[in-house]
Amino acid sequence: MQAWPIYRVMGDDANAPNLVSDDLALRIYKDMVLLRTFDEKALNLQRQGRVGTFPPSLGQEATEIGSAYALSKKDWLVPSYRDHGALYVHGVPFENVILFAMGRAASLAGDVRALPSSIPIATHLPHAVGLAMAMQMQGEESVAIAYFGDGATSEGDFHEALNFAGVFKAPAIFLCQNNGWAISVPVSRQTASPTLAQKAVAYGIHGVRVDGNDALAVYQTVKQARERALSKEGPTLIESLTYRLGPHTTADDPTRYRQAEDLVPWRGEHDPIVRLGVYLEKQGVLGPKDLDGMKKDAQEWVNQAVEAAEAMPKVKPIEMFEHVYAVMPPRLVQQLQDLEGGVQ
């Protein structure tokens, strides 16, 4: 059997600075802090009944932010529901994410090259393949990257997408965040294969494992996958090993299926923010008080986004009808009247 080593950068102090500049590492760190702050805020808002069900990405900040920094704005990001961190880096304002959690808008990506977050698991992977092919056909220097979890690897669409990508050598990246859990189901129960990266073997494509709590390693891995894709070497399946620190969503109670002590290392020395912080301190670019400042800035920023979102005008019935088709067909015009109390 082939070995599937886990790629790390931060373990190897000598190497990291050559790969990722301090400046970039610091920007990644700031955004990780921002994402954490945002998630904690959203959890609070949910408890207060100000937003609906919310899936935090607590613990997965290195993968979310590190990966997105490796992308060009011309790349297509095809996210799952937990990927507001990557979406933010790619250009989607946090305000829109809050709106999403408020049940206000499915997705408002604006001009950003991103699809609405896929709710049905794994079913968005074929879209990334098609987008990647479209980019290649039109001669664009762009790739498509799909974000998904360990649980998603069990769905048929995962298989069909990776197989298509292999056959068509689509410039696609499949970023699997193995956070240990699919709601209550541990990854050991999701598949009998000891790694998820080895599933690449089934498609004759490149597969790698990366330490998903090492932001620099994630950045580097996605960057390489992107280069492979653009130089027509085909798609890459990345298994990013991380850990879901919070509940699956605010509707979930993880104490039913996992032990508090399981979390201890992940909340401590494995925490992606702690790890990058230690590294940056050693590099001498992060002072002991900088983190506090960043947290404060982040909080302010997040609060502003929430305020902006909450100040939005009330939703209107017509918004439910006007974007089903490019042109509203007569029956929807009539149904809108019906809703508004006109004749049926």
246 counts as binding Mg ion under rule CB under 5 A = no
Instruction: Identify the bridge partners of residue 238 per DSSP, sorted by sequence position.
Output: 175, 208
Establish whether 147 is a catalytic residue. no
Task: Pick one of 26, 32, 131, 196: the residue that binds other proteins (CB under 8 A).
Answer: 131
Parallel, antiparallel or unpaired: strands 236-241 and 172-178: parallel
**Among residue numbers 165 through 224, which ones bind ligand TPP (CB under 6 A)?**
179, 181-183
- Is residue 122 packed enough to be buried (19+ CB in 10 Å), middle (13-18) or exposed (0-12)? buried
Task: Pick one of 59, 66, 79, 149: the residue that binds ligand TPP (CB under 6 A).
Answer: 149
3-state DSSP assignment of residue 179: coil
User: Is residue 136 within 8 Å of residue 100, measured between CB atoms?
Assistant: no
Task: Pick one of 31, 39, 157, 214: the residue that binds other proteins (CB under 8 A).
Answer: 157
Q: How many CA atoms lie within 13 A of 259 on its CB side?
A: 4
Selecting among 90, 244, 270, 275, the annotated active-site residue is 244
Total number of residues binding its own copies (CB under 8 A)? 27
Q: Find which of ligand TPP, its own copies, Mg ion, none residue 183 binds, CB within 5 to 8 Å per kind.
A: ligand TPP
Q: Find which of ligand TPP, its own copies, Mg ion, none residue 213 binds, CB within 5 to 8 Å per kind.
A: none
242 counts as binding Mg ion under rule CB under 5 A = no
Task: Tell me the residue length of the chain.
Answer: 344
Q: Please report how close the Cβ of residue 195 comes to its own copies at its closest, in angstroms.
A: 9
Give residues with Cβ within 8 angstroms of 101, minimum separation 6: 42, 45, 46, 51, 52, 53, 54
Selecting among 84, 209, 248, 275, the annotated active-site residue is 248
Neighbours of 2 (CB within 10 A): 8
**Among residue numbers 25 through 84, which ones bind ligand TPP (CB under 6 A)?**
82
Q: Find which of other proteins, Mg ion, its own copies, none residue 38 binds, CB within 5 to 8 Å per kind.
A: none
* Catalytic residue set: 244, 248, 257
- Chain residues binding its own copies by CB under 8 A are 1-2, 154-160, 163, 166-167, 169, 189-194, 198-199, 201-205, 234
